[in-house]
Structure 1
């Protein structure tokens, strides 16, 4: 979109002049200049309102695009190369992206580990049912199985997602950080050695995730 097209769009968004207080006549007014001035001030007010909305929308869009880029593997250094500013400037403007970068980096190296250990935990769920909170635990196990199936589909070689290309990474992060974590916390005492191994392995995956996310590197 060219600068002229943007200007035209803003003018259309501003629409009719807004209501403003009439500052009154001026000694230098000629003819109907007071009315003309009032209309101009109304357009000025309307343009200011649009400017604020457009700026807010642009900031949101920029932040969303930056986050999506990081979910797709970009580092803060990559963002800096696009903005022409330092990595520190990018970190200051989008402080939450450091955490996204660390999560994405770890997830990218452990897709198979996550699905394997999550699947193992789900397969031993009957031997991990707690004395209390049975319904909550089994609901989390169902969500875990659904998440594993979605992950297998999302990361299949032929999978493409033009609408939301970073969705699979956010879904995988949710699988580990929310669903797997919840299932581990809700699980009861293992009733078999196999269940104990599955729970121990799942805790290991979650522990590695937490350690990686807490690190400082982008």
Structure 2
């Protein structure tokens, strides 16, 4: 608590705020009017600093909660830490329900994702569209890069790195952004193998969309 108080004072002193001098008081002693005006200015600055510190703490709390869910924590786990109900956690951080559903699905389908995405990338030459060739090939290149990262991220001896949840966010982007974009940009399959790859990729994406859809929808 002393550290927080010191932080508030430092922020307040770094950003002084001028307030109107309420004027002299009958009980003033010496330079007390001037000192009172300075104290009121520090009080106003401290109030603003207090708000900034509280907002920063709330952001840090929200980020830590989201990272915990990306790393497999449930709302029940958050509830155990906060000492409040799961409903309270859901109300405070409504976006975590979506993160939880995505993380849960991704955790059970890493191999399916890399296999079908890899199959689509391997058959890309037979899926080139008649229009938008550049966009499609860019997405295929990003898809291949994403698959390589995924294979490294989820290897048996893989470590979390500086940002342990980054692998799950990257995997989510691989499915929800890159794979989705490649499917939408693909042309008509020129071979049965390409048709199978596109159909399989669409199946993975459809399963993802169904499993991660909001419970309210």
Do they fold alike, i.e. is TM over 0.5?
yes
Which moves more between the two structures, 93-102 or 6-15? 6-15
Q: Which residue number corresponds to residue 3 of structure 2?
A: 5
Structure 2 residue matching 1:85: 3-state secondary structure: coil
| 1:77-130 Cα deviation digits (max 9, x unpaired) | 111111111111111111010000000000000000000000000000000000
Structure 2 residue matching 1:15: 3-state secondary structure: helix
Structure 2 residue matching 1:117: 3-state secondary structure: helix
CA RMSD of aligned residues (A): 1.3
Note the C-alpha offset of 1:215: 5.0
1:55 aligns with 2:54: yes
Which moves more between the two structures, 187-196 or 10-19? 10-19
Note the C-alpha offset of 1:210: 0.2
Q: Which residue number corresponds to residue 167 of structure 1?
A: 166
State the distance in 1 between where 2:127 and 2:161 align. Answer: 39
| 1:13-64 Cα deviation digits (max 9, x unpaired) | 2226422111111223232221111011011011112111111110110000
State the distance in 2 between where 1:137 and 1:146 align. Answer: 14
State the distance in 2 between where 1:14 and 1:160 align. Answer: 41
Provide structure 2 residue ranges, at least 5 long, that are not aligned to the other structure: none
Corresponding pairs, count? 215
Which stretches of structure 1, 4 residues or longer, exceed 6 Å deviation after superposition? none
Note the C-alpha offset of 1:7: 1.6
Provide structure 1 residue ranges, at least 5 long, that are not aligned to the other structure: none
Note the C-alpha offset of 1:157: 1.8
1:120 aligns with 2:119: yes
State the distance in 2 between where 1:81 and 1:169 align. Answer: 23
Give the TM-score, by structure 1 length.
Answer: 0.95
